Structure 1
Amino acid sequence: MRNTFIVFFIFTSLSVFCQDRFLPLDTISSKEFHINLFEEYKSKYDAFNKNLDLIKSNQKKIVEEIYIENQKEFLENIKNNNFISDKNINSYLQELLTEVLKKNNIDSKEYTILLSKDSEINASNIGDGTIIINYGLFLAVENEDELVFVISHEIGHQYLNHVKNEIENFAKQSTSGEIIQKTNEIRKQKYNKATLANNLLKNIKYKNYSERRKKEIEADSIGLNFYKKTLRNPEYAISLLNKLDKSNQERDSLTIQDCKLCFENNRFKLKIKYFESEQSLFQKYDTNNAFNIDSLKTHPDCTTRIELLKKHIVTNGQQTNSSFFLGIKKNCVPQNLINLYSNQNYGTCLYESLKLYKLDKNNEDLQVIIFLTLDKIYKSKSNYTISKYMPSLDNKNNSQSLNRFINFINNIKMSDLEILVNQFKN
């Protein structure tokens, strides 16, 4: 909690990123909010688990395990203060949710919406009527209509019971005679067990990906029907999917030259070797194209989904933007940095801050957040806990820029890192 108050003080005592004063979201009531939220969902899950009823006992065990693990993860996110407690923005999102539900005569009591601090451009439905909007989504959406289509899409997942069906189908698949037979065959093999297991996993993943894509298309279709009832411009369903299709692509990068621009001065020079990666099995993994790249995307096959929706869309030329939405958009970049810092994602926070700082080296607010994150990274490297606060090297899902930055943090000498901390502290 202390981290949150430090950043709250910094960003309220300075003008950030623009001439107008930046007003961060309220975190003062966060403790009470998360305690109440935890109790609400703990009670809901206890009641739900008592009523689990499946026909086949062998599937029942698997389904129960999946639900319980998902519930544990969600409750852990609440304990870790991963949801934003600001009453104004939560009320605003609830109003948008209620708008869609009422226009479609859906019982609003079965639905609720939460705002996560997660910076990933995404939203989700966890299967019990709870829709989660990641704060990072505000970095992508350009108007309120796009946001409402996201909410309509997630209502579609709930309306069609996609989460429940997916869990039950996985249980059936896991207990099917075919999978059990193939698993037993692999166990009996003396050689190439890893290859056989990987091939089996690949087949399961492709089957699951096909089902997942089907569910996304279904949620798009019914979500568009829900969305149209609000009389908002359906054109923004297409513009939203276009943005999601590119959401796995990084908008900006941090080159070695950028790092030199941010850190170097007359008394300090960066060493190029800090940015170099080790040749290892990781490099080999990077060249393994066992899986379809689109199947790894957060938002699969948007191109097909866009073409299907276009057939049912007639634009009305209008765009809805409330003053509240515009206020969120104006503040979303600095607020995202606060969210990253308060969630102890220091590596990502530093990376995103440096991408902004290279364009505005006179920005004192960025200098402060860079100092805070560098200091946290220095201390975590000192006590060997750095992996908790840095993203992992990943040549499949990370950009080259992000991996280069991770190498830099991993390789830089402590003495040089201390120089950088003091440089921004001063």
Structure 2
Amino acid sequence: MSLLFVSVLLIELFGFVKPDAVQDQAAPENIVLPDPLVPGLYVFGDSQVDSGLNTHLHTLMTAMYKPYGIDFSIGATGRFSNGAIITDFLGHDLQLPTTLSYGVYRSLDKVVRSGFSYASASAGILHKTGLELGENWSMGKQIAMFNKTVQENLRRNYNSTELPKYLSECIFLVFIGTSDYETNYIEVYYNTSKKYTSEQFGSLLVMQLGYQLKALYRLGARRIVVFEIGPIGCYPASLKVFVPRTKCAEHINDMVAIFNRKLHRKIEALRSQLKDATILVAEMYGLIKDMIERPSSYGFTDARNSCCQVGSGGIGLCVPETDVCPNRQANLFWDDLHLTEAANAIIAGKCFTDSDFCVSTAGILLGQSPSENVLSFDVNVVTGEWPSYELPTPQELASLYLLSLFSHIKSLKGFCKG
């Protein structure tokens, strides 16, 4: 059993240790942990919230080496930052143990009730996104793995009445879409930008994501927070590639803004269709853009350069075993694609406490049930089986996983207007 595996299990059991905690102190005896505010946290997404899943895949997109994790309590774990990522802070605020990567669980013979992260670096809404870098779990596959969790993990611990209630009270976080631009639409290895205009591509992504959110709903999710794509035209990777005359590569930000605008409209539509669900959009684009334009207001002195050394002509990641900036708290960006722990903490704090950012996640998601009909998809208590008209069939899950492979044969005329 590897040291990493043991360390991750210890964190899962005893919770996320904040970076400024004293590591050498002995744990007090008879410690009483506070009750969690929700029963579980389930995370879907890309490298922004990958907590180690890609270390189990054959891919160039991995962060299982120094200087990644230089400020994390157990060092490099596959997180793409110097320390904790957004979901670590959110889980801590929810008083939950650190959310385990599903890749760790595959070696863990126990029921985990506090949630999993299925996030995979370079993954996208579309199946083919990021595959030139190696393996990843696309959003469709992540949902399929969550279905496997429900069937093989959670049903071992919850009966047919308890399971829907448990799932309806958990929070589901979705950080997806960035890689569909960074490692697909604006990537030279793909011809996506030749096939679709920015408007069409944004519509394609949002249409597919809408199907995927409905699949999560049908699997029991009732409290969902979807994060916007950040202003990636301002990230160091874009500045190096496009060398804009202004502070950011605004043509890239314009593409992302199209997606974000359509995302808001899609979520509004889903709210009207799924009456017993609470689905929110975390407005991350404006927050990060404000950090870039007014860095001193957030305690940053550098909002343009990466903290670690990034090789030229690479994929935007830190060069292994190299020096980093001495004051990581003052940098917005860790590498060319990802934020520092300090920035992640600000975003998580805003989501948990600021009603203008996450539309009061703490109040709406934690303070009340989504509706009186939250258990409207109840299982059959006699047979203990999930009704087939509520759970996605294997064929439906497969179609979610493969839809993007065949999207080029469909006319965009019907949906690109949205």
TM-score, normalising length from structure 1?
0.26
Structure showing greater radius of gyration is 1
Higher strand share: 2
Higher helix share: 1
